[in-house]
Structure 1
Amino acid sequence: MSRASTGGVFLRVYIALVAALLLILAVGLFGISMVNDWRAAQYRERLAEAPMALLTALVAAQPEERRNAWLEQEQDRTGMGLALTDTEMLALGYWERRQLDHGDVVTRPASGDSGWRLFRRMPDSDTLLVAHFTGLSERQPQQLMLMLRQWLNAVPEDQREARFQTLRDQTALTMGIGSGSPAGLSSSQLEQLDAGQVVMNVEPERPSLALYTRLADGRWITVGPVRPFEPLPVVSIGAVMVVMLMLMGIIVYLLVRGVESRLRHMEQAASRFAAGDFDARVEARGSDYLGQFGAAFNSMAAQVQAVLSAQQEMMRAVSHEFRTPVARIRFALQMVEDMSDSPTIRRQLGEVDRDIESIDRLIDEILAYARLDSATETGLMFEPTATALMPLAEQVVDSLAPMYPALEITVKGEPADAVVDARYIQRALQNLVANACHHARRRVTVTLLNEEDSVMFDVEDDGQGVPRRDRERIFKPFTRLDDSRTRRGERQGGYGLGLAIVARVAQWHQGQVAIDTSTTLGGARFSLVLPIQHRAADSPE
């Protein structure tokens, strides 16, 4: 995973985080609006409890045949529409019916945005009292206080407080009864109270309204103070939510940023390890998931490094150990050849000598691949310098042409320079050209292409090519295809290490090697792509 792709992943995380915070803010503001609507409905119902309880009590006290006439009379006095209706005539919801059954008041907005409608069940009846008002004015509370006074004066003096208590039990409004002069009223208000009027006392410091009137026995009753509805301050709460969400976003960002940093370090260590730096490790701190993952990565890396080191050490040891007996065998063969004049024996000894040369080449290939495969551990240093690549290709062709006199080996292209280690690029190119010569019928072509930020060697032959199914595994060590590809006639094939060395050299140079079908010769085309500027920071050290 590249740093750009990692950044892209976390950029999407941050965008999703911002979107989630905005969604939370929108849901929060919508929730505040819903709560305000619910609180307003509760406020209206509490405010209507006492008037509706009083009205139902007054209506119930009227003879049934006079109730409608009484309601028409009172609606003119109060300025509210008053009527009786059957429960079945109204489309009430389940919860509204439950409220009415419990003696509560139900409020509904009137159709056409013309005020509110209040519903309360009549005592021991399925009939509902409906009150409709389009706006609240002084007239309505004053008339209701007069009706309350009339209702209380209708019973003997010793029963008034009990009747008042029954009304007070049905409402959450503050209601009281007392004697003498109520506190907080001015002299003019007291005069109005003594004159039998309804006094409305407004407290501007704490906006509230209290109603007073005096009973026939000289005592006074009060309703209130009633405070106006105060909705939750959406702007203030919204600002607080924004600040809280910003703080939460910053905290989450810092947490995610820390995770991103740790993952990036792990990704860099994994990339270095994949590139051959087997000493790459991550800092495994903490006991969380990432810490455990880092510890597991380090453990895996140590085990892989140990296994590879053992394999490479064994390859080097075996290769070196082979050289001594091979040298003794070659010396013995030379002695036997010097002691014998038989052509048959000399011919057989020549075959044996060629086999020994093959073993020597195999040992050289194994040692070369082992050095490349363990560059970090053995201290192998790449020395990239600005190198002219066309002379390098010409040297390779000149060295191999005498070995394949029946083939036409050509070099073409345009001059190009790149920052590479000339030794290993020459070795890789030599392996590619030698591989093409092994399998070509008549022609091998080496083409140097100069692109914007890279150069490419194309090595093509007119042989049978490489089957598509084998194009990936052909670069693995000791991989050899069928005899038709590895040997033609008397030409001996390789040992399956030449192309593996090419792939390793390309990897150390941050390049790549690929195989395809030659469009001009019809055989295989191997392409070695190298960056023009070698990134020394990523090279093995």
Structure 2
Amino acid sequence: MPRIYFLKLYARLAGFVLLVAVLCMLLFQGLNSIRQQMWLEHHGTALMQWLAKSANPVGHYAWLVPAYNLEVGPATQLADTAVIRERLGYGQVVVLPSSLGRRLLVAREDGQILGLNLATPYRDIVRASALVFRWHLDRSTVERRPETLRYLSASLGLGAYFIDTGERLPPADVLQQLARDGLVLYTAPSGEAPRVALQLADGEMVLLVPPPPFKPWSLVIILPLCLLLAAALALLLGFVARAWDGRLLKVESAALRIARGDLSARVELGSSVLQQRLAKAFNSMAEHIHRLVQVQHDMIHAVSHELRTPVARIRFGVQMLADSEKSQRSEEQLQGIDDDIQELDDLIDEILTYARLEQSEAKFLLQQTSVPDLLRQVIAQQQLLHPTVVMELDVDGASEALPMAEVEPRYLHRAIQNLVGNAARYASRQMRVRCRLDSNNCRIDVEDDGPGIPRSEWDRVFIAFSRLDDSRTRTSGGYGLGLSIVRRIMYWHGGQAFVGISATLGGACFSLVWPRVQTQSGGLHRPAQEQNHPH
């Protein structure tokens, strides 16, 4: 791989990864800011509603005023927008950003607003809730403390129980700090949510279990990030696949044009280094194929020309001998020579026709032609050459009513003539040509009562110069090119030629199938004014 291409690819991938990373970070921060806001509103609701229900929260919980700036005031003073006042009117806890962290607001029943400032929201809510626990438990009698503890636990949303067994005792360092401060937040040894240890005025200890803190990483945030990564990867793969598919389509288009005979087709180099390498390799291959085909083309034409020149001279000499005195024996020999010359001339014509069809030199001028009339013309010609064979034409009423198809009449005539001639040559005494046309397709079946073709030879019968026997006498005839020419003519008509067994006559059945209307592709052309070609 070229170094410059590697560096470009690396730079593009690095840029794409950086872009995806930035998008993931923005998505992470955006979603988590919303989640944290919702979590804080939910987590602070219990404490804020407890304080709001108090008749005089600033008086009852005076120790919250300096620590958390607890205050109660009118809505117009603490809630500065109509949207905030509307939310407070629905009983919601509103969390607002402040210079000290977060400010929590809740509406009281008397219409006033209670506000609380939290520098570290989670720890401050837990600590403030713990202070409320301790204040109420200190003022409760020993007999009523369990009931008070349950009531506070349900109201403030914290698990709570007395430390009355050795298993519930906090670690030693926590106990030391608890004896000094009276309230300690610590992490449980199991790594679960934090714990709060309280020591009441009479020395009794209480353990509080608050809900777990906010978790930035959870399924709610991981799933969108995974979806974003999957979408980014799909986008990258789609972009790369689209780019390469477009480049390969150009190569495929050029290859199809070459397959249809347009040997001048080439691939544009493009801007990509790999695309340029592929295009250069393909164009070099196409140039080589073009050169080889051109050499073959020139050789076929040269050989055909060189063969026809001595054939013409021999035929002229034979005609000169025919005009002179000759015996019966010499006349038979001259007739045999003349037949051999005609056979050689036919072979040259077959080779040239096949070469033109293979190299797309044949000019297919599409015309609206009556297929049944074409069949009648071919059968009439072949009947003269094979008078002993009974030839039948089967055209149904629908085909007679819709006889026209878009074909190249000269080459279609040649294909039908080859099939009918083969059937007449191998038939015992009967052959049948069946024509079926509909709105989309045309089909011609040529059947005979001859020996047929073995199923194992069906694929080989259309190969050029392939014959099912070694005989080359005039009675069995053929050069192994007729059926190859038929298949190529069907190819240029967008159809197929295939062989089977005649269900009615028992011999071979050759079929031609092609679309009634041709597409403008390959070697097919439409003349400006359609006119019938002489056959």
Q: Structure 2 length normalisation: TM-score?
A: 0.57
Q: Does 1:252 align with 2:237?
A: yes
**Residues 408, 208 of structure 1: alpha-carbon distance in 2 compared, 3 angstrom cutoff:** closer
Alignment deviations for residues 449-497 of structure 1 (CA, whole Å, 9 cap, x no partner): 124521111111111112222222221222222146x65xx52511111
Query: Which ranges in structure 1 are unaligned for 5 or more consecutive residues?
Result: 1-77, 80-134, 149-165, 180-192, 215-222
Whole-angstrom CA distance in 2 between matches of 1:429 and 1:420:
13
**Residues 387, 147 of structure 1: alpha-carbon distance in 2 compared, 3 angstrom cutoff:** closer
User: Which among 424, 430, 436 is matched to residue 417 of structure 2?
Assistant: 430
Q: Does 1:390 align with 2:372?
A: yes
CA contact (8 A) 2:378 2:416 kept: yes
Whole-angstrom CA distance in 2 between matches of 1:292 and 1:388:
51
Q: Which amino acid aligns with 2:494?
A: Q
Aligned to 2:509: 525
Q: Secondary structure at the match of 1:260?
A: helix
User: Which among 393, 402, 405 is matched to residue 411 of structure 1?
Assistant: 393
CA shift, 1:233, in A, is 4.3
Aligned to 2:295: 310
Aligned to 1:496: 480
Q: Does 1:355 align with 2:378?
A: no
User: Which among 326, 329, 333 is matched to residue 318 of structure 2?
Assistant: 333
CA shift, 1:432, in A, is 1.0
Q: Does 1:479 align with 2:466?
A: yes
Query: Which ranges in structure 2 are unaligned for 5 or more consecutive residues?
Result: 1-144, 147-157, 187-192, 201-206, 526-535
Q: Secondary structure at the match of 2:306?
A: helix
CA contact (8 A) 1:381 1:540 kept: yes
Aligned to 1:372: 357
Whole-angstrom CA distance in 1 between matches of 2:424 and 2:169:
119
**Residues 139, 177 of structure 1: alpha-carbon distance in 2 compared, 3 angstrom cutoff:** closer
The Cα RMSD (Å) is 4.0
**Residues 230, 401 of structure 1: alpha-carbon distance in 2 compared, 3 angstrom cutoff:** same
Q: Which moved more, 1:393-402 or 1:341-350?
A: 341-350
**Residues 333, 240 of structure 1: alpha-carbon distance in 2 compared, 3 angstrom cutoff:** same
CA contact (8 A) 1:277 1:540 kept: no
CA contact (8 A) 1:509 1:539 kept: no
Whole-angstrom CA distance in 2 between matches of 1:209 and 1:523:
98
CA shift, 1:387, in A, is 1.3
Q: Which amino acid aligns with 1:537?
A: S
Whole-angstrom CA distance in 1 between matches of 2:502 and 2:197:
104
**Residues 283, 470 of structure 1: alpha-carbon distance in 2 compared, 3 angstrom cutoff:** farther
Whole-angstrom CA distance in 2 between matches of 1:535 and 1:356:
41
Matches within 5 A, 1:87-486: 136-137=159-160, 139-140=162-163, 198-199=182-183, 228-231=212-215, 232-283=217-268, 285=270, 286-288=272-274, 295-375=280-360, 378=361, 380-414=362-396, 415=400, 416-483=403-470
Identity %: 35
CA shift, 1:393, in A, is 0.6
CA shift, 1:519, in A, is 1.4
Q: Secondary structure at the match of 2:350?
A: helix
Q: Secondary structure at the match of 1:536?
A: coil
Q: Secondary structure at the match of 2:364?
A: coil
CA contact (8 A) 1:276 1:540 kept: no
CA shift, 1:530, in A, is 1.3
User: Which among 512, 525, 528 is matched to residue 496 of structure 2?
Assistant: 512
CA shift, 1:308, in A, is 2.6
**Residues 201, 497 of structure 1: alpha-carbon distance in 2 compared, 3 angstrom cutoff:** closer
Q: Which amino acid aligns with 2:391?
A: I
Q: Secondary structure at the match of 1:456?
A: strand
CA contact (8 A) 1:517 1:524 kept: yes
**Residues 531, 143 of structure 1: alpha-carbon distance in 2 compared, 3 angstrom cutoff:** same
CA shift, 1:284, in A, is 5.6
CA contact (8 A) 1:412 1:446 kept: yes
CA contact (8 A) 1:209 1:227 kept: no
Whole-angstrom CA distance in 2 between matches of 1:201 and 1:350:
124
Q: Which amino acid aligns with 1:374?
A: Q
Q: Secondary structure at the match of 1:479?
A: coil
CA shift, 1:398, in A, is 1.0
Q: Secondary structure at the match of 1:243?
A: helix
**Residues 167, 281 of structure 1: alpha-carbon distance in 2 compared, 3 angstrom cutoff:** farther
The list of structure 1 runs, each at least 4 consecutive aligned residues, that deviate by more than 6 angstroms after superposition, is 175-179, 207-214
Alignment deviations for residues 271-308 of structure 1 (CA, whole Å, 9 cap, x no partner): 443343334444465444x7655554444443333323
**Residues 513, 337 of structure 1: alpha-carbon distance in 2 compared, 3 angstrom cutoff:** same
Q: Which amino acid aligns with 1:361?
A: D
CA shift, 1:227, in A, is 9.9
CA contact (8 A) 1:275 1:507 kept: no
Q: Structure 1 length normalisation: TM-score?
A: 0.57
Q: Which amino acid aligns with 1:519?
A: A
CA shift, 1:413, in A, is 1.3
